[in-house]
Amino acid sequence: MSNDVFLLSVTVASNVRQTIQFKMKDLQLPSQTVETLEEHGAVSIRPNLSNMLKESLNELRIEQSKIYAEHCISHAETHFLMAHHFEDAMAKIRRMRISLLHMNQSLKGEWYTEMRRWEKMVNKTIEPLFADPVSQELVKAAYMNVFPEKEAFANAIEIQVVGPHPVSLDVAATPGDTLSEKMAYEAACNTQAVYTAAQKSAKDKACKRFALFLDDLDVRNSTNVGDRQTGGNSDRRGSWEVAAEELNVIADHVPGLETIKLITGTILTQGRRMKNTKLSAHERSEAFTSFTNQRQLLRAELKELVDGAESTEGMQALQTSLSATGEYQTIMSDMKVCETEEQLETTLLKAETFTLCSNQRVKSIKQAAQRQREFIAAKHVNVDDELSAIESLQAEEKEDCDF
């Protein structure tokens, strides 16, 4: 595994000022108020010089974060890339660079418009605060001077990529005598420590994701495996699919998750297969059977992972979710045999313990409870009494008629 690990850094930065903080004294506040605010570390108004620049930076940083989330594990701003994620990560970087060119061209074309917007904001802020025209113009000029020149604005954003650099995690027993040997020894020791911390952090994150993954999987049946939790766009992934993909990335770096990765991959494959509307009833049933069996295998593997493991926040969340699976199934079964509201409410009291990693289970229980209430209400309706009431109502209506 160590030979397939690389260091990668992708940085999105701006060469020009993005915001500026208005000085307290320029807001014409009383001196005592200014002193009090400064003593308490209060921050003055800090507007964006260009909303267009800010939005472009945000868009690129979202893509940057996707590279780290989908292809790396990280610790302390250090990001480790696996070899088989290289092509996908580089493709994302190339797309970011293409977007960067278009963004800088757009910023160049909109420089005058953005500068005028900034000028309008400065005027509206400063003019009501200064009665003296000379002071007013001096302050306005000072804030206008911070807006980037047209040439700088044309190349306001840049993307810097360092790596991927291969990582050597093979630490020698001794540092060696030469400078290169000593440097290699220190490099391996330092990188190994950070990579180990990244693995530990990734494993804890994986446990938290598995806890939520189980919560979502528990409420999936043969008719809604392919559905998202909300919305109706069938082309978008459900939360369980997103979780499965993230877990596959983490499992690449964390020893001991190989079997779990294979099971998760099978669940993902069968779940996506069931989204195919052209499947026959037999094929759909076959896919769901595989989906269900793999779901059971996953629980067994995760239980084995939790047993005897070091207690962490992620492990505790996973343990809670594993326990909730059995409780959820019991509650759902008990509700089906409830014949009165009292019995139903007693059963629902058990669900109040679901406070962690059970959002989807709780939603499912509430929906099932509503269906059971409707069933109980319908069950206690006397059809003969209802028909008599309707006939009586019809008779009264005829007597009221004057024709």
Same domain, 203 and 144: no
Residue 371 pLDDT > 70: yes
Residue 229 pLDDT > 50: no
Same domain, 255 and 150: no
Listed residue (53, 50, 71) closest to 4, CA to CA: 71
Q: What is the spatial distance between Cα 81 and Cα 90, in angstroms, rounded to a whole number?
A: 11
Residue 360 lies in a domain: no
Same domain, 21 and 154: yes
**3 state SS of 156:** coil
Q: How confident is the prediction for the chain on average, in pLDDT?
A: 76
- Predicted pLDDT at 36: 53
Which of 112-116, 165-169, 265-269 is modeled with the greatest confidence? 112-116
- Predicted pLDDT at 10: 94
Residue 342 lies in a domain: no
Residue where a domain stops, chosen among 334, 352, 387 = 334
- Domain coverage including residue 134: 2-167
**Contact of 214 with 322, CB cutoff 8 Å:** yes
**DSSP letter for each residue of 309-377:** PPP-HHHHHHHHHHHHHHHHHHHHHHHHT--SHHHHHHHHGGGGG--SS-HHHHHHHHHHHHHHHHHHH
Residue 249 lies in a domain: yes
- Of residues 246 and 94, more confidence is placed in 94
- Predicted pLDDT at 164: 92
Partners of 162 in the β-ladder: 9
φ, ψ dihedrals at 235, nearest 5°: -80, -15
pLDDT band at 40 (very low <50, low <70, confident <90, very high): very low
Residue 358 pLDDT > 80: no
CATH number at residue 219: 1.20.120
Q: Please indicate, yes or no, whether the overall pTM of this predicted structure exceeds 0.75.
A: no
What ranges in 129-280 are assigned the alpha helix state H? 133-144, 150-153, 179-218, 239-253, 258-273
Same domain, 145 and 293: no
The pLDDT tens digits of the residues spanning 103-134 come to 999 988 888 888 888 888 888 777 776 677 88
Residue type, 372: Q
Helix 179-218 crosses helix 359-379 at what angle (to 10 degrees)? Answer: 0
Question: Once rounded to an integer, what is the mean pLDDT over residues 135-163?
Answer: 84
Residue 115 lies in a domain: yes
pLDDT band at 138 (very low <50, low <70, confident <90, very high): confident
Residue 163 lies in a domain: yes
Residue 358 lies in a domain: no
Same domain, 16 and 91: yes
- Predicted pLDDT at 213: 79
Residue 92 lies in a domain: yes
Same domain, 148 and 202: no
**3 state SS of 142:** helix
Which of 73-82, 85-94, 173-182 is modeled with the greatest confidence? 85-94
Residue where a domain stops, chosen among 105, 132, 167 = 167
Residue where a domain stops, chosen among 120, 149, 167 = 167
**Contact of 244 with 260, CB cutoff 8 Å:** no
pLDDT band at 9 (very low <50, low <70, confident <90, very high): very high
The CA radius of gyration of the chain, in Å to the nearest whole number, is 31
Residue 25 pLDDT > 70: no
Please give the helix or strand (H or E) that residue 57 lies within, else none.
Answer: helix 51-71
Residue 234 pLDDT > 70: no
- CA 263 → CA 133, 216, 283, 290, 300, distances in Å? 73, 16, 20, 11, 11
Same domain, 229 and 300: yes
The pLDDT tens digits of the residues spanning 269-298 come to 877 777 777 778 787 778 778 878 888 888
Partners of 81 in the β-ladder: 6, 72
Same domain, 154 and 258: no
Total domains, the chain: 2
Same domain, 238 and 123: no
Q: What is the spatial distance between Cα 48 and Cα 13, in angstroms, rounded to a whole number?
A: 15
- Predicted pLDDT at 38: 53
Residue 176 lies in a domain: no
Question: Once rounded to an integer, what is the mean pLDDT over residues 247-251?
Answer: 74
Same domain, 124 and 231: no
Same domain, 11 and 159: yes
pLDDT band at 11 (very low <50, low <70, confident <90, very high): very high
Same domain, 200 and 319: yes
φ, ψ dihedrals at 72, nearest 5°: -135, 160
Residue 1 pLDDT > 60: no
